[in-house]
Amino acid sequence: MEEKTSPKKPVLLEFLSFVVRPAKTISEFPEKKSPKKLKKKGSTVIWEKIKSFLSHFFDVIRLWSLQYVLAISAGILSLILTNKLQVDTGEHAVNTLLTEASALFILFFSVIYAPITEELSFRGVLRPNLGIIGFSLPFTILVALQFIINFFPTLEGVIPSFLYNPFIWQGALFYLAFIIIATTTGVLLDRKLMLGKKISAFYIKNIWWMYYLSAVIFGVLHITNFIAYKEILFFMPLLIAPQLIVGFFLGFIRIRYNLNWSILAHMLHNLISVAPILLLISFVDGYATLMQNPELNPSEIMSFKDMAIVLFVFAIAIIVFLFLLILIAQMIAEVVIYLVKVNSLKVNERGKS
């Protein structure tokens, strides 16, 4: 009689288990198979890679859908509570960016530059790979210096600008050289000193606080998005709740899959958040004015055509949101089916004994 194998653990259950007990759950994640091992087993390497990619893509998209819905819900709740408590958060940096910068720069900054920089800074160290850690180190220092400058503007004249501004040629050259040196050093240390086992042991032992700390720091640094952040630090846990949620999800995606997938999820999160507003600002006259002055009546500053475009964009956004809810429902159903199967296997084992 063939023994019934235990069903595959759903990705949502993997995420919840990891958030609760990172150190224990990390050992359950399967190691990646190299192409040589796959050839020895008679598998087609390309087909295996395609199947692995599609499986990871589906998992990451579903996790991202839950991350996005929870983050948006937390943001709405935060907005409602801050209004009830009459907390003046001041202008938000994203609103300033959307109304003052060009569409091309906004897309580059929010969809490419910010996700890559932040993932390398906050999630690069969440796997025991000295090459990746070395590559991530310059980005971590860059983000830390930018936060210090934002929090203590008086230091802007003390710290050289090329250390916190990679968009000037001195900063670009400095960080390019820094990346090359740090990455090369990390790779050489990993290969020459054979530190792999020691680093892996340290990583498994300390992953719990590294994971939590990366999510918390990711959230805390986003408090500077509020112009009046120094006056509202007491309400910081409420204001950065969306970023904390995003940090926990992206940290898991980086650890469970790899850094490329967390960058992709971060890019998608920012794109979906920015694209509707960017479309409205670009094609609807007066929408930027309405963003800066929400007390105005939209019908007074927008034509019928503009109102129709706004309603169309919001309708598309609602459809996308409903699609994300369907993905979330599918994940929940997957967990329920898994628990029923596991319980059934346990009942059968008890019956045999």
Residue 149 CA to residue 164 CA, distance in Å, equals 8
Over range 291-311, report the average pLDDT. 75
More confident residue, 103 or 69: 69
Residue 34 CA to residue 45 CA, distance in Å, equals 9
Residue 110 CA to residue 154 CA, distance in Å, equals 27
Q: 3-state class of 62 per DSSP?
A: helix
Mean pLDDT score of the chain: 84
Rounded to two decimals, what is the model's pTM? 0.87
DSSP 110: I
Q: What is the pLDDT of residues 32-58, one digit of tens each?
A: 444 444 445 555 678 888 888 899 999
Over range 300-304, report the average pLDDT. 74
Q: Is the pLDDT of residue 171 over 50?
A: yes
pLDDT at residue 34 in the model: 41
Q: Is the pLDDT of residue 209 over 50?
A: yes
Residue 256 CA to residue 254 CA, distance in Å, equals 6
Among the residue ranges 16-20, 163-167, 183-187, 227-231, the one predicted with the least confidence is 227-231
Over range 91-104, report the average pLDDT. 78
Cβ(109)–Cβ(94) below 8 Å: no
Over range 223-242, report the average pLDDT. 85
Question: How would you classify residue 86: left for phi > 0, otherwise alpha for psi between -120 and 50, otherwise beta?
Answer: left
Question: Would you place residue 1 in the very low, low, confident or very high pLDDT band (cuts 50, 70, 90)?
Answer: very low
Q: Of 268, 211, 217, whose CA–CA distance to 244 is shortest?
A: 217
